[in-house]
Chains A and B, each alone.
Chain A
């Protein structure tokens, strides 16, 4: 489950250790923009040590590595051997570099005794070329589990200003979602960058959800609540999804491929959507309670 993915600065011990208790679905240990150029070695050692020695529970451990070739290779060697689940390479635009990183991961996993293919990739698309080649990036390797959008760098690259409403990113967001979903992987939205603006964050997260994103990057722990609110099904949505499944099961027993529920036609696409809602509810720990209520009724 990747509703919320929280960036943690890779060279700040006090913030890294907060990751053991913050309610994010995934933590992104940042070795790129959050670490000064002359402290790259320090950040790499600190993140690696944190991965080895701190208990982050079930949170996915993602590391945003550096784009520079020499730093990139050192970062990947260090953090994969330390237990990173997923590598986030920045400024990806196409399959070539992802394939190269995939081959390096093959080598590291073999040498370190890690199950082949264990380490996943979540490329960050944050340039105009990155958006243009989104589908190619999504299909570059079986390791690619999601495409993530980096809106700030993208806006700078295409020469527009970021706004609270984010209309300047609408095409890029939709393009990324289509590419990711066509490849059968997840789409992760850009962070909302005003840490104090919770209503703006919620609106931005609801927009991302409505466009088909499965989760959202976060630069502040204050944003986790709003992101979870946007990406977790409501009680009414879960109850409706359960009704849809029951109605279709009854229809199939009668030999029907489509049934009616509350005056609306229920067919396979509606059932698929209901199953996605229930899968997310189940992963969020909400389904058991909802099923108990439905059974009681």
Chain B
């Protein structure tokens, strides 16, 4: 389900990721990470999987990564998406 309002989850602490989700007409994903060159594709793949599982087709999503593991990226994105529906 697509976001109905802006929502944020996560922090800027080490090993975490802050995710910001906004309603949008199209699906866009912006990633900021110190390891973008090495892990950008993996982060994008993880985000795409979560978005597909939740049926998100239109949203503006920003990920500010601080070296988060895959499971943390999943959790923070799921939390932000859930919060954007309230």
Contact = CB atoms under 8 A, between A and B. Distances in A.
Interface stretch (A44-52, A64-72, A139-147): A44-52
Contacts of B72: 13, 17, 46, 49-50
Interface in A18-60: 41-42, 45-46, 48-50, 52-54
Nearest to B82: A41
B70 A53 contact: yes
A99 to B, nearest CB: 31
B38 interface: no
Nearest to A51: B71
B4 interface: no
Interface string B47-86: 0000000000000000000001111101110110011000
Contact of A49 (B16, B74, B83): B74
B17 to A, nearest CB: 8
Nearest to A52: B71
Contacts of A12: 13, 16
Given A49-B72, A49-B74, A54-B71, A14 B14 contact: yes
B78 A45 contact: yes
Contacts, number: 50
B49 to A, nearest CB: 12
Nearest to B80: A42
Nearest to A41: B79
Interface string A148-172: 0000000000000000000000000
Nearest to B16: A13
Given A41-B79, A42-B79, A45-B78, A13 B68 contact: yes
12 contacts: A14-B16, A17-B72, A41-B82, A41-B83, A45-B9, A45-B75, A45-B78, A52-B71, A53-B69, A53-B70, A53-B71, A53-B74
Interface of B: 9-10, 13-16, 68-72, 74-76, 78-79, 82-83
Given A13-B16, A41-B82, 14 more contacts: A12-B16, A13-B68, A13-B72, A41-B83, A42-B9, A42-B10, A42-B75, A45-B78, A49-B71, A50-B75, A53-B69, A53-B70, A54-B69, A54-B71
